[in-house]
A and B are shown apart, each in its own frame.
Chain A
Amino acid sequence: AQSVTQPDIHITVSEGASLELRCNYSYGATPYLFWYVQSPGQGLQLLLKYFSGDTLVQGIKGFEAEFKRSQSSFNLRKPSVHWSDAAEYFCAVGARYGQNFVFGPGTRLSVLP
């Protein structure tokens, strides 16, 4: 069965510091991988996605993620965090075809001034 884990429930970083959010997945076929962000009281917004090819993908708002097949990971990174990045971040995995995802439990990011 497919599953997604995000080991960190809550992370706090200082503004300007670098960020890495972890995501591990279990999936029987080639996965399609996604990161979403949810600002307080809002729906989810797609940050980036990985389908195939270059394992380092760039997204919106200065985020990037790296797919590592050997580690079944798809970690999200940002070199310098801004206060507006405070939000909850969800990793998700889906099939190449077929429209259902499995979402991770989310990681809440707090940013200190």
Chain B
Amino acid sequence: DVKVTQSSRYLVKRTGEKVFLECVQDMDHENMFWYRQDPGLGLRLIYFSYDVKMKEKGDIPEGYSVSREKKERFSLILESASTNQTSMYLCASSFGGLRQVPNYGYTFGSGTRLTVV
């Protein structure tokens, strides 16, 4: 069964801490994405990547960075966590990269619920 795995289901961190959220996929997908999900706001794209060492800003990149050193792993980094970053974080992946391949949709991980206190 193919999957996207997020390393933690729940995390509690203190304000000012550096936080790493890890995501691994086993489908050889080129594209990987990080979203945050908040009630009433839906899913908002933070960063995405089309290939190893490539990254692109999404709609709300402020306060976040990402790392993609290997194709299967995409990490989201909160450089200095703040309470307004308390949220559900969802990782997703899909085929394609920069090739012209049809858009078949994403495979999502189960999410990491982060609380910053």
Q: Which residues of A contact B (CB under 8 A)?
A: 9, 32, 34, 36, 41-46, 49, 51, 90, 94-101, 103-106
Check A49/B104 contact, CB under 8 A, given A90-B42, A104-B42, A106-B42: yes
In the complex, chain B residues whose CB is within 8 Å of the CB of A32: 102-103
B96:A99 contact, CB within 8 angstroms: yes
In the complex, chain A residues whose CB is within 8 Å of the CB of B41: 105
Cβ of B50 within 8 Å of any chain A Cβ, yes or no, is yes
A66 to chain B, nearest CB (A): 18
Indicate the member of A32, A45, A103 with the most B CB atoms within 10 Å: A103
Cβ of B2 within 8 Å of any chain A Cβ, yes or no, is no
In the complex, chain A residues whose CB is within 8 Å of the CB of B100: 97
A97:B102 contact, CB within 8 angstroms: yes
B31:A99 contact, CB within 8 angstroms: yes
Contact of A44 among B90, B94, B96 (CB under 8 A): B90
In the complex, chain A residues whose CB is within 8 Å of the CB of B40: 9, 105
Check A43/B103 contact, CB under 8 A, given A99-B31, A105-B42: no
A41-B9, A41-B113, A98-B103 known; 8 new pairs, CB 8 Å cut-off, are A44-B106, A46-B106, A90-B42, A90-B43, A99-B50, A99-B96, A103-B43, A105-B41
B101 to chain A, nearest CB (A): 7
Contact of A97 among B92, B94, B103 (CB under 8 A): B103
In the complex, chain B residues whose CB is within 8 Å of the CB of A44: 90, 92, 106, 108
In the complex, chain B residues whose CB is within 8 Å of the CB of A106: 42
Query: C-beta contact mask, B83-117 vs A, less than 8 Å → 1, else 0?
Result: 00000001010101000111111111111010000
Cβ of B48 within 8 Å of any chain A Cβ, yes or no, is yes
Indicate the member of B50, B102, B103, B110 with the most A CB atoms within 10 Å: B103
A42 to chain B, nearest CB (A): 6
B111:A43 contact, CB within 8 angstroms: yes
Cβ of B4 within 8 Å of any chain A Cβ, yes or no, is yes
In the assembly, what is the distance between CA of A94 and CA of B92, in Å? Answer: 15
Q: Which residue of A lies closest to B96 (CB)?
A: A99
B94:A42 contact, CB within 8 angstroms: no
